[in-house]
Structure 1
Amino acid sequence: MNRYPHILLSLAITIMAGCKGQNDYDASGTFETEETIISAEASGTLQAFSVEEGQNLKKGTQVGYIDTIQLSLRKKQLESQIEATLSQLPDREAQLAALQTQLKTATRERNRMRNLVEADAATRKQLDDAEAQVDLVKDQIKALRSSLSVSTTSIRRQTSPLEVQIEQINDQIAKSRIVNPVTGTVLSTYAEPKEVTGVGKPLYKIADLSSLILRAYVTGDQLPAIRLGQQVTVLTDEKGGEYRKHSGSVVWISDKAEFTPKTIQTKDERANLVYAVKIRVKNDGYLKIGMYGEVKLKQ
């Protein structure tokens, strides 16, 4: 009968040690990450889409494309309209050729009259008439050039809106290519090939899991002992009741107190108000989103 008190004493010591081990941390919380939802930037049939959950994607990788046939046809139509409009441009050289010929003739006639006047074979009035004819043809050439310039400018301006529309279509065609914008791991997919998608419709969710954020909560008494950039020890559960240790860095401290979340226990369970902190932990492949973690402020 004397052995039972010893058994009860040993059991009590074990329970007390277990309780002490459970509270051997300063804060606790769950792991999270910055998730990015990639949405379609164009409308149409999803001709190709090669994204699977758990797939690692690098930034700049094309993972699919949306049908662009209608956009291409619209672009060809606009290019044809521009070509037709530009065909109305006046032929400057052809229209000026006749006046240039008249100018040469008038210039020769003036020079001939000048020689005749010097030889007293023609009157001064005839020379003045010849020079006036040269000036007249020059004025006609100047006026025609101005008219042709105005006409050319007007026609080219008619093509400007069409060129802008082509640029818009080129942008839409570029956005029809689904290019992964961030390096990370695909968490969820929301579309399948051959489905019809639209602008803003989610396609997949991705996150960088190379490091995770542990959002933990500390009491006001603990707050003075925490600073940005501080190195802390993060503990996660392992088999056999052991802890796996990770090194973390404090990257954010809330400047506002909040009520203790129901799923979170702090070192001082009597405190009603706590402060949220974020601790970045490098992921060795063991950490998962939603996993529970504990923090020891002193390493």
Structure 2
Amino acid sequence: MKSFIKKITIFLSLAVIGCNNNDNEFDATGTFEAVETIVSADANGPIKQFKIDEGQILEAGQTVGYIDTMQLYLKKKQLEAQIKTVLSKKPQIAVEVASLQEELLQAKRDRNRIANLVKADAATQKQLDDATSYIEIVRKKITAQQTSLGNTSASLSDEARSLVVQIEQINDQLSRSKIVNETKGSVIVKYAEENEITSVGKPLYKIADLSYITLRAYVSGDQFAQLKLGQKVKVFTDVDANGYKQTEGVVEWISDKAEFTPKTIQTKDERSNLVYAIKVKVKNDGLLKIGMYGELKFN
């Protein structure tokens, strides 16, 4: 379809170019176009809300609807409950080793008491050595238990972090369930309705910024030399029976490649149909529409 429209545009442009030799008032003709963006679903499920209409102007960042998120919400609540259960199993290391710490303090008191007895020749050196050895045994028990409990706590923390990552993934899916318009413009086509089942990548609507609109036209090789980027030109549109409406436009793009019409060149005369595509940016007062024809005058 685009190829057909392009051929028609080239044909009309050539017709105007040909008429220029007969003092026609226009230098070129073409059709208006705009950058059209298709907004697609970013989640799967039924569309619970979708409040847009064709022709409606939407702002960038505006939320226009959402896709059902109940199953995601329930999964998130389940994961949050799992995190609480996992964290509740984490050992309180200080409490767990409290009895051994108390045992260590008692062992130190016993060693001090025996040391005093040894000084008074009321206890043997072996008893003192045994008391000292027992202190080291209790210390090793404390270290071993702290290490074991620390490993258990770290393992449970890793498990909880894994669940937290899953929640973050669900939060991302929940945010994607919102239908957010990213580009300011007018709704050109609406493809879906509320309560329809959609899926990731399925088109929802098409939008285009029509505050400025582009006139694509074709000029001859002779006219090509008269144009430059940023050049102001006159744009004419046949809006009513009273005549043409004049608007100022700016040349924003000039093709650096020529096109032939027809494509198969047979004679030298046909090579005069060498044309270049150009784009002219025009401020839209609301009357200009995509696909509408427009004429150009360079001077």
TM-score (norm 2): 0.84
Aligned to 1:295: 296
Greater shift in the superposed pair: 194-203 or 205-214 = 194-203
- Distance in structure 2 (CA, Å) of the matches to 1:21 and 1:31: 26
**Alpha-carbon deviation of 1:68?**
1.0
CA 1:20 to 1:217, structure 2 compared with 1: closer, same or farther past 3 Å? closer
- Secondary structure of 2:107's partner? helix
Look up the equivalent residue of 2:153 and give its one-letter code: T
Aligned to 2:109: 108
CA 1:238 to 1:73, structure 2 compared with 1: closer, same or farther past 3 Å? closer
- Distance in structure 2 (CA, Å) of the matches to 1:174 and 1:103: 55
**Where do residues 1-299 of structure 1 align in structure 2 (5 Å cutoff)?**
23-240=24-241, 242-260=243-261, 271-298=272-299
For the 8 Å contact 2:64–2:179, the answer to whether it is kept is: yes
Aligned length: 276
Aligned to 1:6: none
CA displacement 1:85-107 (0-9 Å, x = unmatched): 33332232232111111111011
- Secondary structure of 1:200's partner? coil
For the 8 Å contact 2:260–2:271, the answer to whether it is kept is: no
- Distance in structure 2 (CA, Å) of the matches to 1:125 and 1:46: 84
CA displacement 1:5-44 (0-9 Å, x = unmatched): xxxxxxxxxxxxx998982222221100011111111111
**Gaps in structure 2 of 5+ consecutive residues:** 1-18, 264-269
Greater shift in the superposed pair: 127-136 or 274-283 = 127-136
- Distance in structure 2 (CA, Å) of the matches to 1:59 and 1:21: 48
**Gaps in structure 1 of 5+ consecutive residues:** 1-17, 263-268
What is the percent sequence identity of the aligned residues? 55
- Secondary structure of 2:97's partner? helix
CA 1:279 to 1:104, structure 2 compared with 1: closer, same or farther past 3 Å? same
CA RMSD for the aligned pairs?
Answer: 2.5
For the 8 Å contact 2:20–2:27, the answer to whether it is kept is: no
- Distance in structure 2 (CA, Å) of the matches to 1:229 and 1:75: 54
Look up the equivalent residue of 2:70 and give its one-letter code: I
CA displacement 1:165-204 (0-9 Å, x = unmatched): 2212111111111111111111111111111111111111
- Secondary structure of 2:256's partner? coil
TM-score (norm 1): 0.84
**Alpha-carbon deviation of 1:124?**
3.2
**Alpha-carbon deviation of 1:54?**
1.0
